[in-house]
Amino acid sequence: MAKLIVRTGEKAGMEYEVKEGTVLGREAGVTVPILDPKASRRHAQFGVEGSQFALEDLGSTNGTFVNGSRITRQRLHHGDVVRIGATEFLYNDPANRRPEAPSPPAAPPAPPVAPAPAKKPIQITPAHRRPRPGPRRH
């Protein structure tokens, strides 16, 4: 069962069951009343598209937003945030979770790293056995 949960405003915490034809707005008698001066009398309405609910803006002046983007009609997924004026709703419909993006293909295994070549040991010659530099030429 899909629900709208009011997150902000005077009715924060209230839950409304979503059905086809559910209307949001300021007008008396709408399914989901919004006490917000920026909401239209009949602001938005739920419809059905396939197995999902879609929210349609009914030509409101200030717009309807889903996840921060202004919409005219938008299918909703579980966890979407609907905003009308300053009032926010959380769309709760566990049966319609947002499809996950496919995982990127696994990277091929890295080629084996060749061991570093062995270093030639350094021989230290005692100072008394070092060759002396010849006379300097100017």
pLDDT in tens, 79-99: 999 999 999 999 999 877 766
Q: Which residue has the higher pLDDT, 138 or 66?
A: 66
Provide the residue type at 85 as one letter: G
Q: How confident is the model at residue 106 (pLDDT cuts 50, 70, 90)?
A: low
pLDDT digit string, tens, across residues 28-84: 999 999 999 999 999 999 999 988 999 999 999 999 999 999 999 999 999 999 999
Backbone angles phi, psi at 64, to 5 degrees: -120, 135
| Per-residue pLDDT band at 113 (split at 50, 70, 90) | confident
In the prediction, which pLDDT does 127 show? 60
Sort residue 21 into left (φ over 0), alpha (ψ -120 to 50) or beta.
left
Question: Could you give the CA distance from residue 90 to residue 104 in angstroms, rounded to a whole number?
Answer: 30
Please tell me the predicted confidence (pLDDT) of residue 132.
Answer: 64
